[in-house]
Amino acid sequence: MASRSIIWFRRDLRLADNPALLAALEAADEVIPVFILDPKLVDENGSKRLAYLGQSLRSLDESLGNKLHVRVGDEVEVLKELISRYGATSVHISTEYEPHGAARDARVEAAGIELTRTGSPYAVAPGRVLKPSDATPYRVYTPFYKAWCVHGWRKPVAAPKVINAVTPGKDDRNFPDWPVPGGTQISEAGEAAAMSRWKKFKKEALNSYDEARNFAGIDGTSKLSAHLTWGEVHPRTLLAELGDSKAHDVFRKEIAWREFYGDVLFNNPGTDTQYYTKRFENMRYDDPGEKFKLWCEGKTGYPFVDAGMRQLLHEGWMHNRVRMVVASFLVKDLHLEWQLGEEFFAKHLIDFDVASNAHGWQWTAGCGTDASPYYRIFNPIEQGRRFDENGDYIRKYVPELAHLSAAEIHEPWLFLDGYSKGYPMRVVDHAVERHESLARLQEIKEIKEIKEIEK
């Protein structure tokens, strides 16, 4: 009888450069590829991300010759049933470090199922890059990046030419029917789509990435974040093709930011929801109310902010420059806690990554590691002028302003025709709220100084 091993897919929905898959193939004559849909996890994911995942699973299944088992239920129960039915001798996974995945795998092992861990979603696994002076984790990005480059990573490996996979039974093909929500349009999912996008980006935008990446109105970013989130491409595959030019190095640094935040969350459990810099818990924040609702709907009256929020609602993705602007607006113009925005992003982003999302928010809020100082407050008007000079990005997502010229579109309240198509009035005055934000910062600085004197 042929020996069998289980390859349990999670955030590694690909065949190329998948060390866990290779380990499963090496361990047995046949593999049982499985993806387990835990109903509790499904309930926690937004509709756009679920629709993307459903497409990605079908893409993976096609590449496996329609041999993917998709089971619904508790992971322990599903794995035990598969092990018993097929006589599987090992279960192979890619190591996960984020809180939910790590806790799930610990629970599976506590139930008596041994997991063979090979590889991870990172080029360099969290916890490996340490300061040479005292072997402690880095708290600042730039020295982390330098040490991360020195540490290095292995070269990617091609997809296996032959995968001997068992044929699923009729009860093993529970592919979810998660439609794309009405009025939305999400990017194409799957390993083939990831490689197609990478090829297009290399040809058209990589060599100008250092400058073009900030301009919201052009296709100047890789748009590979969702593919990385679901492991449809491994960061090693991208890193292997980068050179030493400034543009290539800036792109390398963007991949490293993802790895840095994964490392920070691993070394500081709980900072996905809690303040990394504790004194910001003492900041005066407002109650969400109507202001938060208008921010969520893209109706703040600030065109660049509203364009970003509407892009998120429509596509499940937002340009990175704009993510920083809308985050700054929530925390420093509306005086709301960053966790509100983090949760809203988590609900809508197809590229949601718990570490990158939480610590990206904390960076902009000024309370995170390697933080942008709190007093660095993004001006939503000037950011629009700088990074969407002609207003093309705003016109695409805010049709009420499409009739305005480039000179008018960033401050529609200054022009007679600015509100003629129903665009909302400003929810706050940025100049006033900037001073209020700085005053609130001074309050917690004084609290800290008092505590230090009391010591």
**Average pLDDT per block of 10 residues along the chain, 455 residues long:** 94 98 98 94 88 97 98 97 98 96 97 98 98 95 97 96 96 94 92 98 97 94 97 98 97 98 97 95 96 98 98 96 97 98 97 97 91 80 97 98 98 96 98 96 75 48
Output the domain CATH number for residue 200: 1.25.40.80
Given a contact cutoff of 8 angstroms between Cβ atoms, the answer to whether 337 and 373 are in contact is no
Is position 251 within any domain? Answer: yes
Residues 108, 42 within the same domain: yes
Is position 246 within any domain? Answer: yes
Residues 116, 129 within the same domain: no
Matching residue, tokens 């289980």: 6
**pLDDT for the residue numbered 454:** 46
DSSP conformational letter for 64: T
Residues 48, 109 within the same domain: yes
Residues 203, 68 within the same domain: no
Residues 203, 335 within the same domain: no
Looking at the DSSP bridge assignments, the partners of residue 92 are 7, 116
From 442, 316, 437, 367, select the one nearest 47 (Cα to Cα). 316
**pLDDT for the residue numbered 43:** 83
- Looking at 267, 298, 324, the residue that finishes a domain is 267
**pLDDT for the residue numbered 455:** 45
Output the domain CATH number for residue 397: 1.10.579.10
**pLDDT for the residue numbered 448:** 59
Alpha carbon 149 to chain centroid, angstroms: 22
Residues 243, 141 within the same domain: yes
Is position 453 within any domain? Answer: no
Q: What pTM does this model have?
A: 0.95
Query: What amino acid is encoded at 298 in this protein?
Result: G
**pLDDT for the residue numbered 294:** 98
Phi, psi of 215 (to 5 degrees): -90, 110
Residues 292, 428 within the same domain: yes
Is position 232 within any domain? Answer: yes
Residues 423, 301 within the same domain: yes
- Looking at 217, 243, 267, the residue that finishes a domain is 267
**pLDDT for the residue numbered 418:** 95
> Domain range spanning residue 231?
123-155+192-267
Q: How many domains does the chain have?
A: 3
Given a contact cutoff of 8 angstroms between Cβ atoms, the answer to whether 93 and 8 are in contact is yes
Residues 302, 254 within the same domain: no
d(CA 65, CA 20): 19
Residues 434, 354 within the same domain: yes
d(CA 1, CA 96): 32
Residues shown for the chain: 455
Residues 127, 113 within the same domain: no
Alpha carbon 215 to chain centroid, angstroms: 20
Residues 85, 143 within the same domain: no
Is position 171 within any domain? Answer: no
